[in-house]
Chain A
Amino acid sequence: MAGLTTFRGKAAGMDRVNVDTDQIIPKQFLKRIEKTGFGQYLFYDWRFKQDGSPNPDFELNRPENEGVSILVANENFGCGSSREHAPWALLDYGFKVIIAPSFADIFHQNCLKNGMLPVVLKEQEIKYLLDKTKNQSHELTVSIESKTVTDADGFSASFEIHPYWQNMLMNGWDEIELTLQMEDSIKKYEESVQ
């Protein structure tokens, strides 16, 4: 995984609450055994009509949202199933950062593991961003290093990220490799509970 320090991209707004992972990637697409290729099925039931044609009313299908890489969402984003296919689908579609007032725990964790940044901002800040992304394109800069989200109009919001994950994301490290170096501690633990 490549490291990520600062990211600039076009943001799309999705002003819906409790968006669950069943919506992000419906179950009929969970049968693949690879991590790739899920982007085409992202938000499938919202994005496409019954006949398979794009639903023009869906946020991501609007012309101004072509080429977006940041998603501004609303509260409890990613709730429900633990399926990592949800962040895989968002990543494969092109998203690198998801901004919301709150995330479901497992989804939040799954994003970090895949080098996609979940950013929690305050309700007022989300309101501003949802407003800015309504029917128009809006560019944002997200810095993992300074833990800020900014735009060209002077908006600046800071967010929290655990220093462990800040480090992991900025360096693009392989977590398993790091843990395997803890072998002595793991062995010691196993012996102590025998």
Chain B
Amino acid sequence: MGKTIIEKLWENHVVHREEGKPDLLYIDLHLVHEVTSPQAFSGLRLKNRSVRRPDRTFATMDHNVPTVNRFNITDPIANNQMETLRNNCEEFGITLADINSPEQGIVHVIGPELGLTQPGMTIVCGDSHTSTHGAFGSLAFGIGTSEVEHVLATQTLWQSKPRTLKVQIDGELGQGVLAKDVILYVLSKYGVNFGTGHIIEFCGNVIRQMSMEERMTVCNMSIEGGAKAGLIAPDDTTIEYLRGRKYAPADAELEALAEKWKALASDEDAQYNKEVYIDGSEIAPMVSWGTNPGQTAPVTGRIPYLSECTSENDQRAVESALAYMGLSEGQNISDIKVQKVFIGSCTNSRLEDLRMAAEVAKGQKVHEDVQAIVVPGSQKVKMMAEQEGLHKIFLDAGFEWRESGCSMCLSMNADIVPAGEHCASTSNRNFEGRQGSGARTHLVSPAMAAAAAVNGCFVDVRRMTGAEAVH
């Protein structure tokens, strides 16, 4: 029987296997940020341990950083956490893309951008959205701080093999339907724990036609379905993306590796523990209305009625979400007004995302009741966007153009949505309080976020001028 790419990646990294124990897996790349690492480094220091492979470890600061004046950190506790990372990296010999580095950015944006993320690798980070890197055909998953410490000390992790789940999306996406809509659709259809205990392989026609940046958006939100990781087999699109990146192999080495990487693809007769099939042509631009990413509807649709809930737990979840969101059962999505718009996060802050939003914003004005911010995922994204003049489009339309970081995705810095306000956000989580205490988050694609900024409510981006360029 053939093997899935998931099994091939797993087997390639087993350091030690023994009855009654999880497998000891080798970790090829460990990404580190300021929030989930300080206690891990303290742990090492306490036991007089060193970092085994600083050359396979790369750090940046993203969660806490201000997006207005990046060098003026007014929060002393945040500043201390950043300073701590700086000292730890220096003490343990780890490369750091510091706040003043042109390589700084959200950890899941810069890993791929710098060519650190490569097919066939195992990649971990103390951050659940590490699944993003699976877009390259790597086994990438989020870990806790104890595991961060374990990887720092040993470059390995004890892991029980998860089950395999195939999510195949075929057909053609309609115009104006983006990668974000695809993953939100999957979550709305199968819920927030259909992937628990599994690693997802995304495949099918729709996935094959996606750019690397779109694939990253899809894999990024695997964790929102509860999956340990999500990945996509490497192909020519993957190899082309890697060409010319700082840490990626080049020339003959890249060509040789390309063949090896492509051979990782799941065998024709490979079996999965679970399979789901989706018709891409059914997907419309999506908007989340509740307090988990599965509580999502098409922009042309409505919030469900309580009577439509399939279980008691489901009904209670809908009731509590509606109470928090200040919405009613059966309400049309297009009736929801927004006061904030956030375009950014490790889900949707790359150059293509900003281009999509700019296409919609071009020549328009942000609605008078709305504050809209655009936060590029990295300093490089910011620079490239400015070279294309995207910042001018946003600024002319009344959007704010910020510095790179996680920003309003989790509002650990000053970018907070006030209580009671609705925010159209290109981020990944609409949990209670995520964007601020009492904040009401609606997850959308970059094009839909820009459309909401202009209209002050959710509109179908397919019906806006400029949208024909959004594909």
Contacts and interface: CB of A to CB of B under 8 A. Distances in A.
Interface of A: 16-18, 20, 22-23, 26-28, 30-35, 45, 50, 74-76, 79-84, 87, 102, 104-106, 109-110, 113-114, 162-164, 175-176, 179-180, 182, 185-186, 189-190, 193
21 contacts: A18-B317, A23-B433, A26-B437, A27-B410, A27-B412, A35-B145, A76-B192, A79-B292, A81-B128, A82-B128, A82-B143, A162-B160, A163-B20, A175-B158, A176-B47, A176-B154, A180-B49, A182-B24, A185-B15, A186-B24, A193-B26
A31 B75 contact: yes
Contacts of A175: 146, 150, 158
Contacts of A114: 146
B95 interface: no
B333 interface: no
Interface string B317-357: 10010000000000000000000000000000000000000
Interface of B: 15-16, 20-22, 24, 26, 35-36, 38-39, 42, 47, 49, 52, 63-64, 75, 77-78, 80-81, 84, 126-128, 142-147, 149-150, 153-156, 158, 160, 162, 192-193, 196-197, 223, 226, 228, 292, 313, 316-317, 320, 410-412, 429, 431-434, 437
Contacts of B146: 84, 110, 113-114, 175
B153 A84 contact: no
Contacts, number: 163
B20 A82 contact: no
Contacts of B78: 31
Contacts of B317: 17-18
B196 A33 contact: no
A176 B145 CA distance: 13
Given A22-B434, A79-B226, A106-B143, A179 B156 contact: yes
A126 B158 CA distance: 30
A115 to B, nearest CB: 10
A109 B228 CA distance: 11
B39 A176 contact: no
A84 to B, nearest CB: 4
Given A17-B317, A82-B127, A105-B228, A31 B160 contact: no
A45 B434 CA distance: 11
A106 B226 CA distance: 9
B131 to A, nearest CB: 11
A82 B144 contact: yes
B154 A82 contact: no
Contact of B431 (A16, A20, A110, A176): A20
B194 to A, nearest CB: 10
Contacts of A16: 316, 320
A84 B145 CA distance: 6
A75 B432 contact: no
A178 to B, nearest CB: 9
Contacts of B144: 82-84, 87, 106, 109-110, 113
What 6 pairs between A and B have smallest CB-CB spacing? Answer: A113-B146, A33-B38, A84-B144, A110-B144, A82-B142, A84-B145
Nearest to B419: A50
A31 B24 contact: no
Contacts of B145: 35, 84, 110
Contacts of A33: 38-39, 42, 80-81, 84
Contacts of B126: 82, 84
A179 B24 contact: yes
Contacts of A179: 24, 150, 153-154, 156, 158
Contacts of A164: 20-22, 158
Contacts of B64: 31
B92 to A, nearest CB: 15
A79 B24 contact: no
Contacts of A35: 39, 42, 145
A50 B285 CA distance: 35
Given A45-B432, A83-B36, A109-B144, A27 B160 contact: no
B147 A31 contact: no
Contacts of B226: 76, 79, 104-105
A164 B433 CA distance: 37
A84 B36 contact: yes
B13 to A, nearest CB: 8
Nearest to A112: B146
Nearest to A74: B313
B127 to A, nearest CB: 6
Given A34-B39, A106-B142, A80 B196 contact: no
A22 B431 contact: yes
Contact of B313 (A34, A75, A87, A189): A75
Nearest to B49: A176
Given A17-B317, A34-B39, A80 B429 contact: yes
B196 A102 contact: yes
Nearest to B20: A163
Nearest to A17: B313
A21 to B, nearest CB: 9
B433 A32 contact: no
Contacts of B49: 176, 180
Nearest to A182: B16
Nearest to B410: A27
A163 B21 CA distance: 7
Nearest to B25: A189
Contacts of A76: 192-193, 196, 226
Interface centre among A50, A80, A105, A185 (most CB of B within 10 A): A105
B228 A30 contact: no
Nearest to B16: A185
A158 B77 CA distance: 44
Given A79-B226, A164-B158, A179-B154, 16 more contacts: A16-B316, A16-B320, A26-B433, A31-B78, A31-B81, A32-B77, A35-B42, A35-B145, A79-B193, A80-B429, A84-B39, A109-B147, A113-B146, A180-B154, A182-B16, A186-B155
